[in-house]
Amino acid sequence: MDPPMVKKDSLIRGTLILAAAALIARVLGVFQKVPLDYLFTGGGSGYLGIANNVYLYLLVIATAGIPSAISKMVSERYAIGRPDEAQRIYRAGLLFGVVTGVTLAVALWALAPWYAEHIAKSPGAAASVRAIAPALILFPVIAMMRGYFQGRQMMSAGGISQIVEQIARVLLGVALAVAVFNLGWGDTWVSAAATFGSVFGSIGAFLVMLYYARKLKRSDLEERLAAGAEAAAASAAETGRRSAPPMRLKAIYKEMFAMSIPVVVTAMTVQFIYLVDASFFIRWTDGFFASEAAAEQVRNYLIYNGQSIAGIPPILAIALSQSILPVLSAANSVGRLDEVQRQASLVMRIVVFTGVPAALLLTVAAHSVNGLLFVDPAASGMVAALTVGTIFQITMMTSNSILFGLGTPRPAMISTLIGYAVKIVGSLLLGPLLGGYGFVLASMLCFMVITSLNLLAIRQKVRLQVLGKRWTPYLAAVLITAAAGFGTDMTVRGMLGTALHAKLVFLAGAIATSLVCGFFYLFLLIALGVIREADAKSFPGPLRKLLLPLVRRLGRREGQASAGL
C-alpha cells in the first residue's frame, strides 16, 4: 500500500481554502458583534473595537512579517532541493515567535491603562485591552506555523486552524460576555469578557496546528522511506553538499529580516489605519463635533459597525495574497518569468471579477446590511463610505504580494510608507472638516496611492495581462450594477415601509439587492464581452460548468483582448 501523502494545494485550490476559512471567520466575527451590540448600553462597542485594533496591530509587529518570509524562503528551498535548510528556517521562526509573543503580551498588559486613558481617551477600554493581551503569547507562534505550511503549499492547515480559532473565540467570548452582563457588571467588563475569547481562540488554533505539524512530519518520513533507502541516502548526501555548512541562526535571521521588514510595513497597513482611527479620532476631529460624546459615537460607528462589514470584501484578496506568494516565489527562483506573469495576471483578474463587485454590493446595500445586523441604522453612511474604499484595499493587498513574489519587496515598502504619510496628513486635514468621512477619505487616498505605485513597480518586472481593452465594458457593467442595486434597496425599503418589522424590511432589502446585483453583474460581464470562453475555462470546476454555457450563448464572438493591464 502506498503511504499517505499530504498533498500540495494548487493556486486556485489554496485560494479557495483560505477564502472559505476567512469568510467563515469573518461571518463568525460579525456574529460575535451582533449580540454584543444588544448587550452594550454605553461605550462597550468602542472599548471592544479599541482593544481589537491595538491587539491586531501589535500582532503584526510580534510576527514582524516573518510568516510571509518563511513562506517564501521555505518554498524556494524546497524548489531547489534544500529541505534541511527549510526546516532550520522554520525552527528559527518559531523561536522568534515565542520571544516576541511573550514580550509584547507582558508589555500590552502593563501599558493598557496608560494607552486607554492618554491615547485613545477611553479609560474604560483598559480592561478590554488587558483581557486580550494573553492571546499574544500563542498567536505569533501560530502565525509562524501557518507561514511554513503556506511555503509547503498546504493551505488546509491554516484555514482549518483559523475556523477553529474563530469558533472558540466567538462562542466562548459571547458566553462569557452574557454571563458578565447577567451579573450586572456593566459595559467595561462585558467588553473585557468578550475580548478574552481571543485567548481561547489562540489555544484552539494552536492545537490544530500541532496536529497538522505531526501529520506533515509523519508524511515526510513515509515519503522518504517509500523512495527507498539508497535514494534517501543519495538525496541526503546531495542536500548536504548543497547546503553545507548548515545555515546559522544569524544568517537565517539576516535573510528573514531583510525580507520581513518590507513585509511587516505592508502587512500592517490596514491595522495601522484602523489604529489611527481608533486612537486619534476624538483628538483630531476636535471642533467638528458639538461634543466629545458625539465624536465618540461616530468613532464607534467607524470602528465597530464599519470595520466589521468592510472586512468582508477583501477576504478573497487576502487569501490570494497568501496563496500566490509561494507560487510566484518558486517560479521566480528558477527563472520562469512566463509562469510568474501568467499567475500574477490570473490573480489580478480574479480580484477584479470578484472583489470589486463584493465591495460595491455592500456599499449600495449598506443601509439594509447595517440595519439588519446592528442596533443603530445611523451608522449606515459610515459603513458605505468605508466599504467602497475596500476596492482599493483589495488591489493594494494583491499588488503587494505580487511584488514580494517577484523578489522586489522594497518598492512595496516605499509605496506603503508614502501611503502612511497620506493617511496621517489626510486625517489631520480632513478630520476637522468632514469628521468621520474625512478619516475614511484619507484611508481611501492611502490605498489608492499605494496601489498606483505598486502597479508601476510591477511593470518594471512583468507586464500584467488583466483585461486589456475590456476595461471600458467592465467599468460600465460595474456602474450599471451598482445603480441597479442601490435603486433596488431604496425601492424595497420604501415599498415595505412600516408594514413589516424593521429587521424584516432590512432583510428583504439586503436579499433583493444581492439578487439584482448578482444578476446584472453576471449578465453584463458576459453580454459585454468582459468574460470570455478562455476566462471561464480557467475558473474552478463548479463555476466553470455554470459559466461556460452562458458565455457560449450570450458572449460576444470576438478575438482575445490585447495584452496589458
Residue 377 amino acid letter? P
Least confident span in 99-103, 273-277, 313-317, 506-510: 313-317
pLDDT surpasses 90 at 228: no
Provide φ and ψ at 248, rounded to 5°.
-85, 160
- Which three-class secondary structure state does DSSP give residue 229? helix
How far apart CA 219 and CA 230 sit, in angstroms, is: 19
Supply 127's cell numbers. 480592561
- What is the pLDDT confidence band of residue 366, given thresholds at 50, 70 and 90? very high
DSSP codes of every residue in 458-518: HTTT----S-GGGHHHHHHHHHHHHHHHHHHHHHHHHHHTTSS-HHHHHHHHHHHHHHHHH
| Torsion (CA) 273, 279, 280, 286 in degrees, nearest 10 | 140
Determine contact, residues 321/287, Cβ cutoff 8 Å: no
Model confidence at 559, pLDDT cuts 50, 70, 90, reads very low
Mean pLDDT of 2-25: 59
- Reading the block at residue 294, the C-alpha cell is 458625539
pLDDT tops 60 at residue 513: yes
Tell me the C-alpha distance between 91 and 148, whole Å: 10
- How many residues in the chain? 565
Region of residue 40 (left: phi > 0; alpha: psi -120 to 50; beta: else): beta
The grid coordinates listed for 243 are 547546503
Mean pLDDT of 191-199: 91
Counting runs of H as helices and runs of E as strands, what totals does the chain give? 25, 0
pLDDT-derived band at 14, boundaries 50, 70, 90? low
Burial 73-111, CB ≥16 within 10 A → b, else e: bbbbbbbeebbbbbebbbebbbebbeebbeebbeebbeb
- Identity of the amino acid at 537: K
Q: Which residues contact 501 (CB under 8 A, 6 or more apart)?
A: none
pLDDT tens across 34-45, in order?
A: 788 778 877 677
Rounded to whole angstroms, the Cα distance separating 131 from 129 reads: 5
pLDDT in tens, 310-345: 888 887 667 766 666 666 767 776 667 777 777 777
541 confidence band (pLDDT: 50, 70, 90): low
Angle at which helices 390-405 and 66-79 cross, to 10°: 40
Which of 37, 35, 18 lies closest to 26 in space, CA to CA? 18
Residue 223: per-residue pLDDT: 74
Mean pLDDT (the chain) is 81
CA–CA distance, 36 with 304 (Å, rounded to integer): 11
Among 7-21, 31-45, 266-280, 446-460, where is mean pLDDT lowest?
7-21
Instruction: Record the cell numbers describing residue 267, joined without a space.
Output: 502587512
Give the residue with greater pLDDT, 544 vs 33: 33
- Out of 195-199, 354-358, 468-472, 541-545, give the one with best mean pLDDT: 195-199
Secondary element (H or E) of residue 97? helix 83-114
pLDDT in the model for residue 421 = 95
Per-residue pLDDT, averaged over 265-282, amounts to: 86
- In percent, the amount of the chain with pLDDT more than 90 equals 24
Q: What is the dihedral of CA 14, 17, 22, 28, to 10 degrees?
A: -170
pLDDT of residue 508: 93
Q: Is the pLDDT of residue 163 over 50?
A: yes
The whole-angstrom separation of Cα 431 and Cα 434 is 5
Q: Greater confidence, 69 or 116?
A: 116
- Residue 362 CA to residue 279 CA, distance in Å, equals 26
Q: Is the bond into 245 cis (omega within 30 degrees of 0)?
A: yes
- pLDDT of 176 strictly over 80: yes
Q: Which helix (H) or strand (E) holds 212?
A: helix 197-226
Rounded mean pLDDT of 118-142? 89
Q: What is the residue whose three cell numbers read 509562469?
A: 339
- 25, 166 Cβ separation under 8 angstroms: yes
Q: What is the pLDDT of residue 3?
A: 39
